[in-house]
Amino acid sequence: MKIAFIGLGNMGGPMAHNLHKAGHEVRAFDLSQPARDKLAADGVPIAADAKAAVAGAEVVISMLPASQHVEGLFLGAGELLAQLPAGTLIIDCSTIAAATSRKVADAAKAKGVAFIDAPVSGGTGGAIAGTLTFMVGGDAADLERARPVLEKMGANIFHAGSVGAGQTAKICNNMLLGILMAGTSEAIALGVANGLDPKVLSEIMRRSSGGNWALEKYNPFPGVMETAPASKGYAGGFGTDLMLKDLGLAQENAMAVKAATPLGGMARNLYAAHSLAGHGGLDFSSIIKMVQKG
Ligand code: NAD
């Protein structure tokens, strides 16, 4: 299949690479030169710009930071949507506001272009291994068209509902993730302040009733888990500012439907303070710095 892939960051880079390795005809683009160079070194063909990437593509995949980037790409100055012939399928894997997904989908539909929102979970490890979870919003027929492509990047594909529903599922998940990473950090910091070895304490909690994804795969304490961003100076991974964006989306949504999300609100403020302290570019597990001694 001819696929245009726009956005080659921590997630999009390995996802595009997996599609290339699976034999799809991928043409990729990112505004950042280092991101383009990294993919080119992996043998993935790079286009001169987004317009060149989508020329002749049957499927266009976007993996961008936030709502304004997705809206800007498809409906903004470049108006990529105007370049796409009827029958093209857009798969937006970015985590953005459900309302933005619906706005882009409506504009696409008016041109005969199909759109699904397909945000992901599983982190950069899942993106590299091709084991992501996709949460899809859109028509069932469009999801079936996308499925052979999604299967090359992920292990679980869920149909959450109509356009925007994938985004709603994603912000519920990430609100929980933000809360549990902050809670896990607090618990480890408390143990360490009492002289416990963070590795031993983490293993005790992992196998006890406090066990969770952070303890299984993404321990926030440096040195406990070799592969986790915490052991690499919190570089790469999932940026604090991206987590802050997702917690903000959850709060906006909660206000719109009058839901009570007290811990989600507290988590948003914690990550906002962490970002203000200059840590917005570090992986979100660096939230442990908020509660660590020294
Ligand atoms: P990132 O910042 O590493 O990468 C985003 C890339 O998009 C950058 O390379 C940037 O140059 C590029 N970009 C921005 N605007 C562009 C445009 N108009 N045209 C071309 N390229 C453009 O972000 P990431 O970690 O890859 O995350 C991408 C999305 O996936 C976000 O919405 C994030 O919330 C979500 N997400 C991230 C993770 C994770 O663990 N990193 C996990 C799940 C979901």
- Output the ligand 1 site: residues, CB below 6 A: 6-12, 29-32, 35, 50, 63-65, 69, 72-73, 94-95, 120-121, 123-124, 237-238, 242
pLDDT of residue 79: 81
Comparing CA positions, the residue from 58, 228, 34, 131 lying closest to residue 8 is 34
132-137 and 120-121 beta bridge pairing: antiparallel
| 90-120: pLDDT as tens digits | 999 999 999 999 999 999 999 999 999 999 9
Does the annotation mark 170 as catalytic? yes
Q: To which CATH superfamily is domain 168-290 assigned?
A: N-(1-d-carboxylethyl)-l-norvaline Dehydrogenase; domain 2 (1.10.1040.10)
For the chain, residues with pLDDT lower than 50 are: none
> In this structure, which residue's CA is closest to atom 12 in ligand 1?
7
Q: Which helix (H) or strand (E) holds 194?
A: none
State the closest ligand 1 atom to the C-alpha of 29, by its place in the atom list counted from 1.
20
> In this structure, which residue's CA is closest to atom 41 in ligand 1?
238
b or e along 62-95 (b: 16 or more beta carbons within 10 Å of the residue's beta carbon)? bbbbbbebbbebbbeeeebbebbeeebbbbbbbb
CB burial of residue 135 (10 Å; 0-12, 13-18, 19+): buried
Q: If you measure from the C-alpha of residue 236 to the centroid of ligand 1, how many angstroms do you get, rounded to a whole number?
A: 11
Structure tokens at 237: 């991974």
Question: Taking a C-beta distance cutoff of 8 angstroms, is the pair 100, 65 a contact?
Answer: no
Q: If you measure from the C-alpha of residue 29 to the centroid of ligand 1, how many angstroms do you get, rounded to a whole number?
A: 12
Query: What 3-state DSSP class applies to 135?
Result: strand
State the closest ligand 1 atom to the C-alpha of 13, by its place in the atom list counted from 1.
26
Residue ranges per structural domain of the chain: 2-162, 168-290
CB burial of residue 150 (10 Å; 0-12, 13-18, 19+): buried
Task: Determine phi and psi for 25, rounding to 5 degrees.
Answer: -90, 90
Q: Which contacts qualify for 175-180: CB closer than 8 Å, 24 or more apart?
A: 175/246, 175/247, 175/250, 175/261, 175/264, 175/267, 177/213, 177/243, 178/243, 178/246, 178/247, 178/264, 178/267, 178/268, 178/271, 178/284, 179/263, 179/264, 179/267, 180/212, 180/213, 180/214
| 67-93: pLDDT as tens digits | 999 999 999 987 899 999 999 999 999
Q: If you measure from the C-alpha of residue 131 to the centroid of ligand 1, how many angstroms do you get, rounded to a whole number?
A: 18
Q: What DSSP designation does 223 have?
A: T
Q: Compute CA 170 distance to the chain's CA centroid, rounded to the nearest angstrom.
A: 9
Contacts of residue 177, defined as CB under 8 A and 6 or more positions apart, other chains included, come to 213, 243
The amino acid at 121 = S
Which of 51, 109, 170, 258 is catalytic? The answer is 170
Contacts of residue 263, defined as CB under 8 A and 6 or more positions apart, other chains included, come to 179
State the closest ligand 1 atom to the C-alpha of 245, by its place in the atom list counted from 1.
34
pLDDT of residue 168: 98
Fold annotation for 2-162: Rossmann fold (3.40.50)
State the closest ligand 1 atom to the C-alpha of 121, by its place in the atom list counted from 1.
43
